[in-house]
Amino acid sequence: MTDKRLNRMRNVLDKRQLDLRVLLEKVHKPHNLSAILRSCDAVGVNQVHAILPDEMYRVNRRHSAGNGQWVDVEIHDDSVSAIKDLQIQGFTVYAAHLSDDAVCYTSVDYTQPSVVLLGTEKYGVTPEASAAVDKNIVIPMMGMGQSLNVSVAAAVILYEAQRQRAQKGMYDTVKFDEHTYKTKLFEWMQPKMAKYCQRKGIEYPDIDEDGAIIELDSQFR
């Protein structure tokens, strides 16, 4: 691995925002999933939560250019329980959903622990999920259409969150603890070895400052 790529990985990890997340409610089209993951990676989102549609989906790596590797995805059984779990953890959940009580997406404070909920391409956020969130938000529309494509809406909202956080200097401080940082760096630098260790249920081997594995013990041979 080149020094340039290693330094880029470190720089990206240094800016990851652990308290800015996205929750996807049965978004299923591969190009939308990939575009949303790309936007998440671009603004420093570390974790995406997802409720799967009835048919299992898989991120289309041809469209995402590998961005699924850089953003963790946690699967949940249903929307309401996922929302409640995140609220218990201290997150405010905002649904991108047109409703009578919805507010403009720029009027909320994304510098606090925040989750952006996005619904299915055809139907949007379900009524149950909309009722469970803390607030519904909308992107003002000046044309005939009432909404943007889900991946476009995700990018618009996330870049507003990025703008607010950048203004407060929130990208200037590393959020990971040392152990988690090293774990993430190993998974990025040594993805094949990381997957092997996960399958076998063994700890990751140590790596040096250049990302090379220092020494493999007998369990790797």
pLDDT digits (tens, 9 = 90+) for 64-85: 434 568 999 999 999 999 999 9
Instruction: Give the closest residue to 47 by CA, choosing from 16, 78, 9, 7.
Output: 16
Q: Return the higher-pLDDT residue of 212 and 193.
A: 193
Buried/exposed code over 60-79 (b: 16+ C-beta within 10 A; e: otherwise): eeebbeebbebbeeeebeeb
135 has which bridge partners? 94
* Amino acid 214: pLDDT: 79
Instruction: Output the CA torsion 167→169→172→177 (10° steps).
Output: -120
- Calculate mean pLDDT across residues 18-33: 94
74 has which bridge partners? 49
* Amino acid 181: pLDDT: 94
| Domain limits, the chain | 17-167, 178-220
Instruction: Give the closest residue to 31 by CA, choosing from 65, 71, 55.
Output: 65
Question: What share of the chain in percent tops pLDDT 90?
Answer: 68
Given CA atoms 157, 163, 166, 170 in this order, what sign does their dihedral have? negative
Q: Which CATH architecture has domain 17-167?
A: 3-Layer(aba) Sandwich (3.40)
- Give the range among 62-76, 96-110, 119-133 with minimum mean pLDDT: 62-76
pLDDT tens track for 84-102: 999 999 999 999 998 999 9
Rounded Cα gap, residues 33 and 47, in angstroms? 14
What is the 3-state composition of the chain as percent helix, strand, coil, each rounded to the nearest 5? 45, 15, 40
Kindly tell me if the per-residue pLDDT of 60 is higher than 50.
Answer: no
- Calculate mean pLDDT across residues 152-171: 98
Q: What is the CA radius of gyration of the chain?
A: 19
Checking DSSP bridges between strand 20-25 and strand 135-138, what pairing results, if any?
Answer: unpaired
Q: Return the higher-pLDDT residue of 124 and 121.
A: 124
Q: How confident is the model at residue 54 (pLDDT cuts 50, 70, 90)?
A: low
pTM above 0.75, yes or no: yes
Rounded Cα gap, residues 22 and 96, in angstroms? 11
* Amino acid 27: pLDDT: 92
Q: Return the higher-pLDDT residue of 155 and 216.
A: 155
| Mean pLDDT taken over the chain | 89
Instruction: Give the closest residue to 139 by CA, choosing from 127, 148, 130.
Output: 148
CB 45 within 8 A of CB 159: no
